[in-house]
Structure formats: C-alpha cells, structure tokens
Structure 1
Amino acid sequence: MLDLPSGKNGVSTYAMLINGAWADIGGRASIEVENPADQSVIATIPEGTPDDAHRALEAAATAQPPWEAMPAIERGRLVSRLADAVSSNRERLARIVVAEQGKPLNQAEGEIGAAETFLRYAAENARRIEGDILPSDNKDEEIWIKRRPYGVVAGLTAWNYPAALAARKLGPALVAGNTFVLLSHEFTPLSGLELARLAQQAGIPDGVFNVVTGRGPVVGRTLVESPLTDLVTMTGSTRAGREIYQSGAERLKVLRLELGGKAPFIVMEDADIDAAVSAAAQARYTNCGQICTCSERIYLHQDIADEFTEKFITVSKELSIGDPLGNPDIGAKISGSEVEKVKALVDEGVKSGAQILLEGGPLTEGDYSRGYWYAPTVLTVNENSSPLMQKEIFGPVVPIMRVTSFEQAIERANDTDFGLSAYVFTKNIKRLMEVSRKLNFGEIYFNRSNGEQVQGFHTGWGQSGLGGEDGKYGFDGYLRKQTTYVSWA
C-alpha cells in the first residue's frame, strides 16, 4: 500500500502547496501520473497555470525577508527536522518513488537515503556562511564582504531522481536564506509534493517552500521568466537547459543548470578487469541507465578488449528485469516515448556501422506486456563519430570501442560536446595525474563506479551545464556577495 491521498476509483488526488495552503484540482484540468511498470494511473495532479506559478512566487517573495532575518542556525534546525521526517517516512517515500518512477525498491530506498543526507549536510552549513573583512586604502575604513541569499529560487527537477534532486536543491537554498518554488517533472511530481507535506510538519513557515505542478513549457517557463525569480536551479536535459538559458536571458537570470552527459569509461591494459566490469555494469545499468553520470561509452585497450567484453556480456545477460518491488537489477523505463528514443538511437547506430553483440531492446510480451521495459544491449563501434558515441542514450545500451593507447583513449573521450563525468581504470599513477589534467570533465571516477558524495562538487563542463551542486562550492552557489565600505573617520 502506498498510503497516498484519497481520490476517486483508487486514484490518488494531489494538490499544489502555495503559501501554506493546498490548492486542489477543483474544476481545473489535471494530469494523470502513471506507474511505468504497469501503466496504471496512480494519481492526478493539477495542471498548473502561469497564474499558479506567479502566486507561488509572490508567496515566496513575501516570505523571504523574515526567513533571511531568522538566524541561520534556526533555518538549519528546521531543515534538519525535515531530514528527520524524511528518515521516519523512508519506506513510504521509497515506495512512492517506485510507483511514479519505476526503479527497483532497493534503489529507491537509496534515493530517499540520499535525500535525507542532502538535507542534513545543508543543515550543517548553517554555521559556515562566511565573509571577509579587508583593509582599506583609506584611513579609518574597512571593507566588509558578506554573503547573502539571492532571494527567491525556482527549482526544476528531472524525473530520474525526483526525491533526491528536490532535496539536493531545497536544503542548501533554504539554509542560505532563500525561499523556494519547486516544479517537479510531470512524470514524477509526487515525491516533491510529499516532501512539501513533510516540510509543513517540520515547521517550515508558510511561503518558504512552495510546490506547483504542471508542464515545463507553461509553468516552468513562467518560473524562469518572472521578475520575482532571482535564481533558477534546474536538473534535466541539455535541450531543456538551452531553452531555460534563452528564457532567462531577457532578465539576466542567475542559472544553475545540471544537464546531460556522455560519460566515457576507459579501461587500460593494466586495469583490474573484474573490478572494471563490475563498475561498468553498475555505472550503466543502475536506474535502467537513466542517470546523467552513467557510463555512456566504453573505450577498451586492445590488449584486454576481448576479455573485458566477454565478461561484461556475461554480466549483462545475468541481470534480472521485472517488478520494481521485487528488487530486480533493472526496473522499468520511465515512459514509452523514452523506450522509443533509445531504440531509435540503437537503430541509427547500427545503420552507421555498429554491430550488436548482445541484442536486448524493448520487451513487450508476457510479463512485459504492460509497462515500459528495455533489456541490456551491447554493441561494438568502430568510429567515434557514431551517434552511439556522440548522443546521450539514457538507457541500458552500451557501445564499446577499442583503442590502441592511453593517449588515443583520452582523445576520443574528449571528442564530445558534453563534460559531466568520466571513468578511468588503470593502476598507473602517472596516468592518474595525466587524467586530472587532460580529461575535460567536471567529475572523474578513478578505479571506481559512479556515485558522487555530498561533500564533493557535482559540476558539468561544456554542454553539461553551469554551476554545480553539493559540498561547500555547491552551497556557495545559493549565496551572493555584498561589499560594504565602512568608514568611521
């Protein structure tokens, strides 16, 4: 049982949270939220309008000055209480993530654990809002540089990690003294709404955290373009990021954009092959390959290419696919359109010369007759210009290419518009130092699989985004500097 808000015919009905009040659907249009594992409708949400977005922003703008005036440690305590509430509701929240997103239950439990960690780390930063006092060139004068919140933050989150992404942005924004308006993707809005319900229980004041629902081109555009919005933080596709960049240009909006990736996975001849195979499988197949840091293309030194490929295909064949509540290795894809996008990219790659080594593809029969399923697919590619090596796949598809040297691997890895994450497996410490200087990616995993940590800095280069999340640098992104010249002459 999900224990969702009651509704008609077993379908739960959700409302938006604006200024502490839940605005229900009433007579307005609604959006159905679908379970991607069986295509059942699990909930309905209001199809928000520009007016809804504007009212939420007005509430946030009104609530921001007293929220900023509150001692930072008090803001941190409230965010910590929200983390406590997330922890107390972990199982229920995880099952909601499973129902709306389709990932296996154990992975959803990990996501809720990450959401709690993001909030706790943010709360710890309450005593770390630091400034500077500098000597002046003038007598009896000092220069004070302090950090202040931007004001109203609009957060737009993707569907692949709906709970964790919301918490990742909300926690530091609130502790820094900003107020927040959240728009989760219409595929997965329930986690954000449940987080808002818990925020109310934790005592976060009305208007400080608001949640609107609806579609990005309507509600999201209003949040980005409104003069009331001071900062926009968004996780999503590079295409959506470009649109937000353009929409925010008129008012020179401050943007934090975490966008797509095309992570290379380099394995050299001296690597621990078994460890590399295990890491590559995890980095590709977790959440059905729907992670921006997923391994998107593998480069193998020719001396170990056969061994790695054979072992990787064996691991890929053994992965279980099915009911997310049964904790399979791979759950459902988010939607039918996403299945078709992945299939179309594989077909395009084959036409350009790729050869299929393990043919998975869409599953549509028997236990898979309902829902959206895609089995692991492994291909060999000879040209780095192949669409499989250049376009983000975002699914359980693995293109493999051989290289003759470390230098060639680096060159081909950098041959991309993206710059989020990269992986390297080698025991050569000299190569580690070269990787840190030559690979043009904001995040590098050396001899390990993916999974960033909260005290690090998750940032993309190139077409993978602007700004970043996590750690002291991510927290600092929710603060701006103010300089005051203080004279007592």
Structure 2
Amino acid sequence: MAIKTDSYLMNINGEWTGGDLDTLGVVNPATNETVGKVPYGGENETEQAIDAAYDAFQTWSERSSHERAGYLKKLFQLMHDNLEDLAQTMTAEMGKPIDESRGEVKYAASFIEWFAEEGKRVYGDTVPTHTPGKRLQVWKKPVGVVAAITPWNFPAAMLTRKMGPALASGCTVIMKPSSESPLTAVKLMELCEEAGFPKGVVNLMTGSSSKFAKTVMENSKVRKVTFTGSTEVGKTLIKQSADQVKKLSLELGGHAPLVVLDDADIDQAVKGTVQSKFRNAGQTCICANRIYVQEGVYDDYVDKLSKEVQKLKVGNGTDESVDIGPLINQDGLDKVKHHVDDAASKGATVVTGGDALHENDGVFYQPTVVKDVDQSMVVMQEETFGPVTPVEKITSDAEAAKLANDTPYGLAAYVFTNDVSRGMQLIENLDFGIVGWNDGGPSAAQVPFGGMKQSGIGREGGHEGIEEYVESQYVSIAMD
C-alpha cells in the first residue's frame, strides 16, 4: 500500500512559501515510493532569501552571544523532543536504518548545543604594542550572510554543523539541502520557527542546487558559502567564488584507507572496520574504502571480517532489526556493481556478498568483502560509496603509508595497532585531516572535522569550526 505523500514548503523571511511553484518528488530508495514533494525554487526565490538574510543580519549580529545561545539551546531541546519524528522522516526519504537516523539526530543536535556555548568564547586579542602611546587589539566580527549547501547522506547533521557556528557567531543563514533528502531540513526549519528565531535569520530553500549556487555566488550580499559534497562540485564553487573572492568552507570527497598492522587486536580491527565501513550502507565521506592488512594477520582478518559481515541484515530502514539500508538511487547501485565486477575481473575474490538485491523495488546491495585486491582495481582508486570492503595485503608499515597516501584525497584514515611507537610514526606520515587509531567512529561535535589535499578547505566542529564564520579586524588605537 502506498504511503501518504505530503507537500512541503520553503521558508523565506519567516514565511512558508513556494506552494505555487513546480515541485520535486522525494523518493524512498527502499520502496521507490514518493514520500514527499517540495517546491522547485530557483533564482527569484534565492534572491528573496538572500535579501531576507541580509536585512536580518544587522539586528541578529548585534544581539549578545548569550542571547543567540538562548535560541540555539531552545532548538537543541526541540530536536530532542522531536527526535523520533526527525528520525522517521530521515529514514523515509533516504533509507538510513532507523536506529542510525536516531543517532544522527542526536549527533546533529550536539552541534547546536556545542556552538551555543562556543559562541560565547569567540575571543579577540590585545597585542603588545611596538611603540609607546598605542593599544593594539584584534576584534572578531561575524562574516555576514551564509549560504549552506548540504548533501543527502546526513540530512540533519550536515545542516546543524553549519547552522550552529554561523548562528552562534552572529551570521544569518540560507539552508539549501539536497533535493534527494530535503524533508528533514523542512522539519528542522519548523523547529527553528518554534524556537522563535527572528524572521530572516534562518531561511530554507529547496529546488535547483545549481541555480542556488550560481545566484549566491553572484550576489555580493552573501559573504560566505559552506558546502559539503563532491570534490568535483567543490572545484566548481571555487571557480565561481573567484570574482568576489567569496569566503568558502568546503568538506569534499574522501577515499579513506584503513590499515591493520600485524600487532593489532584483530577482533577490535574487525569491529572498527564494520563500524566505519557499513554505517549508512557505506555512504559516508569518512567510511573506510581501502583496507590494507599486514600479511601475518591477513587471512585471520579476512576470515573474521567476512563472518561479521554475513551477520548484517539488509532491508527497509524502518525495520528495527535492519543493519544495512538501501543505496540512494540506481546510479549509486550501478557504481557499486561496477567496482566489484572490475575487481573480480582482475583477479580479486569475492568472499561474501557481491550481488544486488531487489526487495520491494528498492535499491539494495549485499554487504560485501573482496580479498586479494590491488591498486590496479577501480575500487582502490575511486570512492565506492557503498557496502563493499576491498582488502589488500601489505608487507610493511612503510608500504601502508605509501599506499594510504596514494590518492588526491585526505579526509579520513584509520590505523589499527597496539604498538604506540608504530602507531604514532605511521599516523605522522599520513596526509589525512582525521585519523581513527583503533577507533572506527572518530566524529564528535567538539573536534575539528575536515580534510587535506582535495578533500576540502577549512574545518567544521570544535573551537576551530566557529572561526570559519568570523573575520579578524585589527584595530590600532593611538592614545596620545
């Protein structure tokens, strides 16, 4: 039986709008059913949102950090009060297992709570003078209007990781969620309204991402664009930002290596691999994509990993017992199939999994382990974004570092070793912004999140996260 399809609206300057526009259908990839419709906004609606955010900036930025924190704390509480509604919406629109969705809502709310407090700690400086009669100070000022463009795979957390520091620092925000999963953002906007944010401080746009990006890049009222998504799109935004030298924060693609050295606790390494690789069906930017295991423990690791992976249940994310939900769409499934087929054709062995599943017209792929892979295979060169674990045998720590760094990306990496000296030396040689040492789940609100090389610009989270939304203004005061 088809589920009810609700129509949603955008929110510009405190008004729900867009009911007269064409709509985009939001499809649940587990069932191929349309679960909601949102307005297809374009240049005109984006310009309206920019004007609203620009007009609201003056008064919002003049409020004290404690007053702004009060609004954020209300939003934090409302997110917890409405956790189940947010989680069910998330699972319905992008397929994530419901328990993972609940976890994401809590994670998303943690950014709102963290930055509510961090906004009170945006400190300036008093600098020792170089000459008598002067006082040298550094003031911190909010950047201005912020456009936030977010992906489909974490529809709550990717928004709050940007909203939190922007709003806490005194910026106003225009949110643009992915058209694949905009419904969670609408629910968050409803909670912002309930929290009492003044009109224009938070605005929500749905519709064309390309038209939105082009419009905000060309409008001088928008002082900063923050984006999470592919490196390809990130490069386009960098080019578009050049004419106005627009301030950017970019969290881009990853291709995370996971290294298991021969002194590691193999059970711990397997647990960490499953935790990292199979969350959200492998559709995360920091999940382990390339596994490098030292030859002395290779067979033991592959055997234990395969047994654990075989226990994972695939299905509709609304089922409480499901571990792996669907891929986001058919293109995602085709990419996963290509990576596995290419590896098998070049001599790799599929130990478990390796096939697409067809359940209720959904887009599913079996949790898969592939052994005896090498660097010639596509799966070791491109981010899979699916539930596939390719395992390559290595002989030394030096080889591990060389192969791990053999990528243009540098977002996350994982190292499993119980030898502190080996671990520190290996990690010092890794060019990645995030490293999990015997830890498959390193993310948290209080730490910086971001990458090196082509994985992005800037950091989100931690005390560094709010610095991306303020400018330093140096003031030299002559006292005489």
The residue number in structure 2 matching 1:3 is none
The residue number in structure 2 matching 1:189 is 182
The residue number in structure 2 matching 1:482 is 473
Matched, 1:118 2:150: no
Q: Is the 8 A contact 1:293 1:450 kept in 2?
A: no
Deviates more, 1:252-261 or 1:218-227: 218-227
The residue number in structure 2 matching 1:180 is 173
> What's the offset of the Cα at 1:35?
1.1
Choose the corresponding residue for 1:450, options 423, 433, 441: 441
Q: Is the 8 A contact 2:342 2:378 kept in 1?
A: yes
Q: How does 1:393-412 map to 2 (within 5 A)?
A: 393-412=384-403
Q: Distance in 2 between matches of 1:253 and 1:347?
A: 42
Q: How does 1:453-464 map to 2 (within 5 A)?
A: 453-464=444-455
> What's the offset of the Cα at 1:43?
0.9
Deviates more, 1:433-442 or 1:157-166: 433-442
Choose the corresponding residue for 2:425, options 434, 437, 441: 434
> What's the offset of the Cα at 1:352?
4.0
Q: Distance in 1 between matches of 2:4 and 2:86?
A: 19
Q: Distance in 1 between matches of 2:347 and 2:43?
A: 47
Say which SS state the counterpart of residue 441 (structure 1) adopts: coil
Matched, 1:312 2:305: yes
The residue number in structure 2 matching 1:48 is 41
- Residue 393 of structure 1 aligns to which amino acid in structure 2? T
Q: Is the 8 A contact 1:266 1:299 kept in 2?
A: yes
Q: Is the 8 A contact 2:119 2:165 kept in 1?
A: no
> What's the offset of the Cα at 1:223?
2.3
Choose the corresponding residue for 1:329, options 318, 323, 330: 323
1:301-342 CA deviation, whole Å, 9 max, x = no partner? 000000100111111111101121113110111112211122
Matched length:
478
Q: Distance in 2 between matches of 1:226 and 1:341?
A: 36
Choose the corresponding residue for 2:24, options 31, 43, 68: 31
> What's the offset of the Cα at 1:382?
4.3
Q: Distance in 1 between matches of 2:217 and 2:334?
A: 30
> What's the offset of the Cα at 1:60?
0.4
Q: Is the 8 A contact 2:29 2:362 kept in 1?
A: yes
> What's the offset of the Cα at 1:9?
9.1
> What's the offset of the Cα at 1:217?
1.5
Q: Distance in 2 between matches of 1:353 and 1:469?
A: 40
The residue number in structure 2 matching 1:299 is 292
Q: Which runs of 5+ in 2 are unaligned?
A: none
> What's the offset of the Cα at 1:370?
1.2
TM-score of the aligned structures, taking structure 1 as reference length: 0.95
Choose the corresponding residue for 1:363, options 357, 362, 372: 357
Choose the corresponding residue for 2:243, options 247, 250, 253: 250
Q: Is the 8 A contact 1:135 1:141 kept in 2?
A: no
- Residue 51 of structure 1 aligns to which amino acid in structure 2? N
Q: Which runs of 5+ in 1 are unaligned?
A: 1-7
Deviates more, 1:388-397 or 1:348-357: 348-357
Percent identity, please.
35
- Residue 175 of structure 2 aligns to which amino acid in structure 1? L
- Residue 280 of structure 2 aligns to which amino acid in structure 1? N
Q: Is the 8 A contact 2:30 2:316 kept in 1?
A: yes
Matched, 1:290 2:283: yes
Deviates more, 1:375-384 or 1:202-211: 375-384
Q: Distance in 1 between matches of 2:317 and 2:175?
A: 27
Q: Distance in 2 between matches of 1:406 and 1:435?
A: 7
Matched, 1:224 2:225: no
> What's the offset of the Cα at 1:34?
0.8
Q: Is the 8 A contact 1:339 1:373 kept in 2?
A: yes
Q: Is the 8 A contact 2:79 2:109 kept in 1?
A: yes
Q: How does 1:148-163 map to 2 (within 5 A)?
A: 148-163=141-156
1:326-374 CA deviation, whole Å, 9 max, x = no partner? 131101111122111221232333344433222333112xxx1411111
Q: Is the 8 A contact 2:373 2:390 kept in 1?
A: no
Q: Distance in 1 between matches of 2:208 and 2:241?
A: 17
> What's the offset of the Cα at 1:407?
1.2
- Residue 455 of structure 2 aligns to which amino acid in structure 1? S
Q: How does 1:123-162 map to 2 (within 5 A)?
A: 123-162=116-155
1:385-412 CA deviation, whole Å, 9 max, x = no partner? 4221110111001111000111111111
Q: How does 1:82-97 map to 2 (within 5 A)?
A: 82-97=75-90
Q: Is the 8 A contact 2:412 2:434 kept in 1?
A: yes
> What's the offset of the Cα at 1:171?
0.8
Q: Distance in 2 between matches of 1:361 and 1:231?
A: 43
Matched, 1:68 2:61: yes
Choose the corresponding residue for 1:10, options 1, 4, 9: 4
Q: Distance in 1 between matches of 2:436 and 2:369?
A: 22
Matched, 1:340 2:331: no
1:269-296 CA deviation, whole Å, 9 max, x = no partner? 1110011111101111110001111000
Does the C-alpha gap of structure 1 residues 16 and 320 become closer, same or farther in structure 2, counting only changes over 3 Å? same
Does the C-alpha gap of structure 1 residues 110 and 210 become closer, same or farther in structure 2, counting only changes over 3 Å? same
Q: Distance in 1 between matches of 2:429 and 2:43?
A: 45
Matched, 1:264 2:257: yes
Choose the corresponding residue for 1:379, options 324, 349, 370: 370
The residue number in structure 2 matching 1:164 is 157
The residue number in structure 1 matching 2:381 is 390
The residue number in structure 1 matching 2:96 is 103
Q: Distance in 1 between matches of 2:210 and 2:343?
A: 31
> What's the offset of the Cα at 1:163?
0.7
Deviates more, 1:303-312 or 1:449-458: 449-458
TM-score of the aligned structures, taking structure 2 as reference length: 0.97
Q: Distance in 2 between matches of 1:187 and 1:310?
A: 37
Say which SS state the counterpart of residue 156 (structure 2) adopts: helix
Q: Distance in 2 between matches of 1:75 and 1:396?
A: 41
Q: Distance in 2 between matches of 1:471 and 1:271?
A: 30
Say which SS state the counterpart of residue 19 (structure 2) adopts: coil
